Amino acid sequence: MKVRDIGLLSLIILPLAGCASVVNGTTENVAVTTPPAEGAKCVLKSSEGTYYVTTPGNATVHKTKNDLNVECDKDGFQHASLKVPAKFGAMTLGNVLAGGVIGVGVDAATGANYSYPTAISVPMTATDPAQQPAPAATPSAPATVSSAAPVAKPAS
């Protein structure tokens, strides 16, 4: 193979070397809920940016190895916050075989080798206990009561 052919082949393969980048992308969609409150305003922050969502809702966030901090507010409820850790993706391990060091480097640089949960729940507490919904009743087993009188044994 000529040097020029190798160079051309490298230019074609190099962008595909980041396996997780190509397969999973560098952004992901997360759904945010704030039980029992709906309509809470939430701010999601990471080292890659700040994202806004009204619950229940979705936000497209950039992947990174850093945590995603979620802060939610709604009138009548206490401020709520949650730190969502980034999870390392196994796709990067496949890069060692498919893309080598370059592929691992591309995924690490773009954050594609990490992900967040697809659903994030940030529980909120009402400031007035009367606004807090009652916990769901758990059905209890019916009590068994015997209406039969004890049977007396005949005397022998």
Question: How many other β-carbons are positioned within 10 Å of the β-carbon of residue 84?
Answer: 18
The answer for 115, left when phi > 0, alpha when psi is -120 to 50, beta otherwise, is beta
* Residues 11-21: tens digit of each pLDDT: 444 444 444 44
* Residues 55-85: tens digit of each pLDDT: 999 999 998 889 999 999 999 999 999 999 9
Could you tell me the residue ranges of all domains in the chain? 12-125
CA-wise closest residue to 121 among 76, 81, 86: 81
Q: The tokens of 103 are what?
A: 């592929």
Model pTM score: 0.60
CB-count burial class (<10 Å; 0-12, 13-18, 19+) for 72: buried
Please give the backbone phi and psi of residue 108, each rounded to the nearest 5 degrees, phi first. -65, -40
